[in-house]
Amino acid sequence: MTPTIQQRRYYSPKEISAITGLSMATISRRIKDGTIPAVRIGRRLLIPASWDPFQKQI
């Protein structure tokens, strides 16, 4: 069973890009400078679902 949006804890950078309309390059840059929080799990970078993509920082 796949988790619903409410059950998700993390999003991939690609999913955040689709949600916000920002390019992958911008997402990567924002993760690198700390504007977008990210957690490394193995080789994957994941953004916590609790992060608000529409806050004033972007």
Residue-wise burial string across 8-26, b where 16 or more C-beta atoms lie within 10 A, e elsewhere: eebbebeebbeeeebeeee
pTM over 0.85: no
- What pLDDT is attached to residue 27? 96
pLDDT > 90 fraction of the chain, expressed in percent and rounded:
69
Average pLDDT over residues 34-56: 90
Question: Is residue 56 over pLDDT 60?
Answer: yes
Average per-residue pLDDT for the chain: 87
Residue-wise burial string across 27-53, b where 16 or more C-beta atoms lie within 10 A, e elsewhere: bbebbeeeebebeeeeeebbbeeeeeb
pLDDT in tens, 7-32: 789 999 999 999 999 999 999 999 99
